[in-house]
Amino acid sequence: MNFINKKYLPMLLLAALSLFLFIWKIGSTPILDGDTAYGAAIAKNIINSGDWMTLRFMNPLDLVPKPPLFYWIMAVGMKIFGINEFGLSIFHSLIGVFTVLTTYLIAKELYNEKIALWSGLILLTTAQFFYAGRSPLQDMPLTFFVAAAFYCFILYEKKTIPHPLYPIAYFLIPIFTALALLIKGPVALPLVLIPLFVYTIWNKSFFKHFNLRLILLLLLFLAIAAPWFIAEYKILGKPFADIMIKTNLGRFFHPTDSIGNDPTVNTARPQYDFYSYFLQLFILFVPWAGFLYPAIFSQIKNKESRFVISWALGIIIFFSLSLNYKISRYILPAYPALAIIIAKFLSDALEKAEEYKKPIAIAKWLTAGLIIPLLVIGTIYMIISFPSQQAAYQPIVLPFIIIFTLGMIISSIFMFRNQLKTAIILSVILSVVSYSVLIPCIDTYFPSANPIKEFCQIINKKSDGIPVLYKADSSAHFAGFYLNQDFIQTRDKETVVKALKNHGTYIISEDQEAQKEFKNSRIISQKSNFVLFSN
What is the mean pLDDT for each group of 10 consecutive residues in the chain (535 residues)?
A: 69 96 94 92 93 82 85 97 96 98 96 96 98 96 98 83 70 95 95 95 79 83 95 90 82 72 58 93 96 95 94 97 93 98 97 94 95 91 74 89 95 95 96 97 92 93 85 89 91 91 89 88 90 91
Residue 483 phi, psi (nearest 5) = -80, 145
Looking at the chain, the number of H-run helices and the number of E-run strands are 24, 5
Residue 139: the pLDDT is 97
Residue 390: the pLDDT is 74
Residue 62: the pLDDT is 73
Residue 159: the pLDDT is 66
Q: Tell me how far apart the alpha carbons of residues 219 and 196 are, in angstroms, rounded to a whole number.
A: 19
Residue 209: the pLDDT is 67
Residue 57: the pLDDT is 82
Q: Which of 100, 40, 30 is nearest to 70 (CA)?
A: 40
Residue 360 CB partners (closer than 8 Å, separation 6+): 294, 349, 415, 420
Q: Tell me how far apart the alpha carbons of residues 174 and 351 are, in angstroms, rounded to a whole number.
A: 38
Where does residue 475 rank: exposed (0-12), middle (13-18), buried (19+ CB within 10 A)? Answer: buried
Residue 163: the pLDDT is 63
Q: Which of 364, 286, 342 is nearest to 115 (CA)?
A: 342
Q: Tell me how far apart the alpha carbons of residues 445 and 371 are, in angstroms, rounded to a whole number.
A: 27
Residue 246: the pLDDT is 79
| Dihedral in degrees, nearest 10, Cα atoms 469, 471, 473, 476 | -10
Residue 415: the pLDDT is 95
Q: With residue 527 as reference, give the H or E element that holds it.
A: strand 522-527
Where does residue 10 rank: exposed (0-12), middle (13-18), buried (19+ CB within 10 A)? Answer: buried
- The pTM assigned to this predicted structure is 0.94
Residue 166: the pLDDT is 65
Q: Tell me how far apart the alpha carbons of residues 364 and 377 are, in angstroms, rounded to a whole number.
A: 19
Check whether the bond before 287 is cis (ω within 30° of 0). yes
Q: Are the CB atoms for 119 and 339 separated by under 8 Å?
A: yes
Q: Which of 66, 31, 68, 67 is nearest to 46 (CA)?
A: 68
AA letter at 61: L
Residue 519: the pLDDT is 86
Task: Count CB-CB contacts under 10 A for residue 9.
Answer: 12
Residue 13: the pLDDT is 94
Residue 165: the pLDDT is 67
Q: Tell me how far apart the alpha carbons of residues 345 and 119 are, in angstroms, rounded to a whole number.
A: 11
Hey, where are the domains in the chain? Answer: 2-351, 358-449, 452-534
Q: Are the CB atoms for 329 and 137 separated by under 8 Å?
A: yes
Q: Tell me how far apart the alpha carbons of residues 186 and 178 are, in angstroms, rounded to a whole number.
A: 10
